[in-house]
Amino acid sequence: MKTDTTYYTVLTGHERSLTLAVAADIHDLPVGADVLREIDKASPDYILIPGDLFERGDEVMNSYDFIRSASGIAPLFFSFGNHDTRSETVLEKAGELGLSILDDSFCDIGGIRIGGLSSGIRDGKHHAERTPPPNTGWLGEFCGFNGMKILLNHHPEYYKRFLRDLDIDIVVSGHAHGGQWRFLGRGVYAPGQGLFPGYTAGVADGRLVISRGMANRSFLIPRINNRPELVIIRTEYRGSGVTPRQTGKT
């Protein structure tokens, strides 16, 4: 299935302009050369992987291949999703290949602060009713920074409960796979949100950017009207007194 490339412009209060590639929900499936070319063409400052890059276990060769290829384009930052392995062997190898792992932590690079909020799910299972809460204790320190703050957050359903009132410029998420089936621009189901979920794709509140994901892990429940997606974010300075907005195109 062809992968869409969707571009968003997100306005921030910072004059620094960035280009960010969001590669969510790879699930250790192959990433085609055409997608890598799209990433390279966008010339991103950073490549953000908000969870489910891996699958549990130590056999994650497709993930390694993606890290190896993408790290030659731009620095890679990853936060844990509910399916990601925590194997020391896998994570050590991924780090050697160029992956920066943010496990309820952050780093400062080029005057930008990038953080990773890890999934509260540690068993790899879906939680239809409510996703277990994350560890938010470190977010106060993360937000105490005057420059641009970008948070990798696998679960978009965390935004309303835990993140909406925090001083964060951009939050990037995945997990919902676009709602798996999409009709009239809406997803049908997402784990942690249930039927007709509110956060499956696009941009909310001018700063929560949700990818439909780059892989279809479930072969029993195919995507309908919902192709895999690579997201490219470009930031622009909104100036003072201007309400944040976003634009998008595919």
In angstroms, the CA 238 to CA 12 distance is 6
Q: What is the predicted pLDDT for the residue at 142?
A: 98
Backbone CA torsion sign across 168, 211, 152, 234: negative
pLDDT tens-digit map of 194-218: 898 899 999 999 999 999 999 876 5
Query: pLDDT-derived band of residue 221, with 50, 70 and 90 as boundaries?
Result: confident
Q: What is the predicted pLDDT for the residue at 54?
A: 95
Residues in the chain: 250
**Count of structural domains within the chain:** 1
CATH of the domain at 149: 3.60.21.10
Query: pLDDT-derived band of residue 245, with 50, 70 and 90 as boundaries?
Result: very low
pLDDT tens-digit map of 31-79: 999 999 999 999 999 999 999 999 888 889 999 999 999 999 999 999 9
Contacts of residues 183-186 at CB distance under 8 Å and 24 or more positions apart, as own/partner, are 183/225
In angstroms, the CA 199 to CA 203 distance is 9
Question: Do 105 and 134 contact (CB within 8 A), yes or no?
Answer: no
Q: What is the predicted pLDDT for the residue at 243?
A: 47
pLDDT tens-digit map of 155-204: 999 999 999 999 999 999 999 998 888 998 889 888 889 898 899 999 99
Q: What is the predicted pLDDT for the residue at 47?
A: 98
Nearest to 80 by CA among 44, 111, 105, 113: 105
pLDDT tens-digit map of 94-151: 999 999 999 999 999 999 999 999 999 876 565 556 788 999 999 999 999 999 999 9
Q: Crossing angle of helices 61-70/33-42, nearest 10°?
A: 30
Give percent of the chain with pLDDT exceeding 90. Answer: 76
Which residue segment(s) compose the domain that 61 sits in? 4-249
Question: Do 245 and 203 contact (CB within 8 A), yes or no?
Answer: no
Spell out a b/e string for 29-53, using b for 16 or more CB atoms within 10 Å of the CB, else e: eebeeebbebbeebebbbbbbbbbb
Q: What is the predicted pLDDT for the residue at 239?
A: 74
* DSSP letter, residue 209: E
Q: What is the predicted pLDDT for the residue at 248?
A: 47
pLDDT tens-digit map of 21-34: 999 999 999 999 99
Token pair for 172 = 């990037």
Question: Do 214 and 228 contact (CB within 8 A), yes or no?
Answer: yes
What are phi and psi for residue 90, nearest 5 degrees? -65, -45
Q: Is the pLDDT of residue 237 over 90?
A: yes
In angstroms, the CA 66 to CA 54 distance is 11
**Distances in Å between the alpha carbon of 172 and those of 22, 89, 145, 158?**
8, 27, 18, 11
List all residues 6 or more positions away from 138 whose beta carbon is below 8 Å from its beta carbon.
104, 105, 106
